[in-house]
Each structure stands twice: as structure tokens, then as C-alpha cells.
Amino acid sequence: MSSSTDQEWSAGRVATILLEAEDTTSARGSIQAEWPGLDLATAYAAQDDALARRVARGETVTGLKLGLTSRAKQRQMGVDAPSVAWLTDAMALPAGDPVPRSRLIHPRAEPEIVFVMKRRLAGPGVTATSAMAAVGHVYAGIEIIDSRYSGFTFTLADAVADNNSSGVYVTGAVGLPPESLDLALEACLLEVDGQVMDSATGAAVLGHPGEALAFAANTLAERGLAIEAGWTVLTGGMTDAVPVAPGSRVAAHFTHLGSITLAGG
């Protein structure tokens, strides 16, 4: 590809390359390294293009996911804002199913606080408080992230184009109304094979997961989009992501939202 020029690259081509990498579970190098013209706006265009193709092949949009919601990860990537990406029904993992390894390249798990929207939420001007008023129920979640880039080595634009390292996600059995929870102090204990690997509370997500939801609504508004009633929103990893090895067991135990156990496949 060393002979590529800016004219040959486009958001559509980036979407094609990354969807093919996903479908064939083959990792590749950074696209931005090959095409420095891949800026953030183009990366989101590639993400939207890929979503349109997922829908065209029969998938349904189920919601959104946020990435880079912790200060530590933002510093690591040299950014000061989170990023958003799309969820479809093909990414929803039924409760009790193992991690579908055959569809994934190098899965990692992270525990998340998940919102299901009772009302449409449209920016701009959404605050954490007005965002929370649109939330119907709060669930525990485990997101299995995956990356189409070798070794999870990517730039911010690379990751955004790659639908923020989306893989599959599973939500807990208990949905609680948000007004009954102090989400900043809702804790999660992340275990792998019965050993506690990490712990965190909802405050690790931008100070409060409601801030992540407000950010998503406001940033989508810049693209003329809104968060729709019934959508699922994964608010961002509470801890660092842990690799999911074959045969391993990942569990996330939440203070009030219950536990999720997932077989590594």
C-alpha cells in the first residue's frame, strides 16, 4: 500500500477494510500510519459508513458505546474527550453464552454501567442531570472489546474508524431505576478465574456515567443524531480491560446491579 495517495483513500474504503478485517478475524496495522489524512471527522464518517453496511446486511442499531471515559485512558491516547461508537443486535451476547471466540481476534473484557433509555435524548445542551432523566433502567454490563489492529496498537482516529474496538456485550439480569442508585459509588469487582483483578466505581467513568451519556448526546447532535428511546448505552470501561483467555472465566460483581459471569469460550 506504499504507493497509496490521499486520492485513493476515503472513509468508505476505511470502512471496507475494517469490516473485512472483522469478518475474517484478521488484524492489521494502523490505517492512519498509511493514510495520515485519516482525521477524526473522517474516522467518524468511516464508522457511520460501516454502520450503514451492517444495517444493509440485516443488523439493527441497538445503541451506543463510549470509549476513553477515564482520565487515565485519555492521557494514554493524548485526548481530553471520550469517543462514541455504534452497537447492533449482532453484538449483543445472550446471557449465558460463552465469548464467541471464532468471531473475535483478541478479546478483552471490561465491566461497564449500562443504561437503557426510556426517552429520546437529543443534544446540544444536555447535562448529566437531564441525561439521567431520560434513562429508564440501569444494568451491569461486560463489554468484550476487540480490535482490528494488531496488538491493540492504534491512534485515536484508527480506533474511532474501527467502531471503538467493538466486539460483543452482555448485560446483567437486574435493571434498576436510576433514581435508586448512587452511580458514582456503585462498585464493581472484576474477577478472572476467581481472582480479583481490579475494582472501581462508576465515578471512574467521567466522574459519573451520566456525564458520559450527556457527552454522547451532545457529540451526536453535532452529527445531527440523537439517542433514541429503547437504546442501550454502554457508558465506558470502569477498569482497564483484561484479556479473555480460552477456557477462562470472567466475572463482574456490582454492589446493587448484580453479577455477570462469562465463559471465555
Partner 1 sequence: MNVDDVAETATRLLAAYEAGSPTHPVIADHPDATLTDAYAIQQAQVEEWTRRSDSVRGHKVGLASRAIQRQMNVGQPDFGHLTQSMFHLENEPVPSATYLQPRIEPEVAFVLGRPLKGPGVTVADAVRAVEFVLPALEIVDSRISDWKISIVDTVADNASSGGVILGSRPVPLAELDLRLVGCTLHRNGELVETGAGGAVLGSPLNSLVWLANTVGALGVTLEPGHVVLPGSMTKAVPLAPGDTAVTTIAGLGTVTALLGPEED
Q: Supply angle C-alpha 249, 87, 20, rounded to 5.
A: 90
> Which residue of 108, 186, 209, 217 would you call a contact of partner 1, by CB under 8 A?
186
Report residue 74: phi and psi, to 5°: -65, -45
Distance of closest approach, residue 207 Cβ to partner 1, in angstroms: 6
> Which residue of 34, 48, 59, 198 would you call a contact of partner 1, by CB under 8 A?
198
Number of residues that bind partner 1 (CB under 8 A): 23
> Which residue of 176, 203, 225, 263 would you call a contact of partner 1, by CB under 8 A?
203
Give which of 83, 80, 113, 111 is closest to 215, Cα–Cα: 83
Give which of 68, 261, 219, 88 is closest to 154, Cα–Cα: 68
Distance of closest approach, residue 205 Cβ to partner 1, in angstroms: 9
Here the cell at position 168 is 460483543
| 8 A C-beta contact, residue 260 and residue 172 | yes
Q: Which residues are CB-neighbours of 57 under 8 A, at least 6 positions away?
A: none
Nearer to partner 1, 97 or 182 (CB): 182
Nearer to partner 1, 35 or 139 (CB): 139
Span 39-78, contacts to partner 1 by CB under 8 A: 71
> Which residue of 6, 182, 193, 222 would you call a contact of partner 1, by CB under 8 A?
182
Span 240-259, contacts to partner 1 by CB under 8 A: 253-255
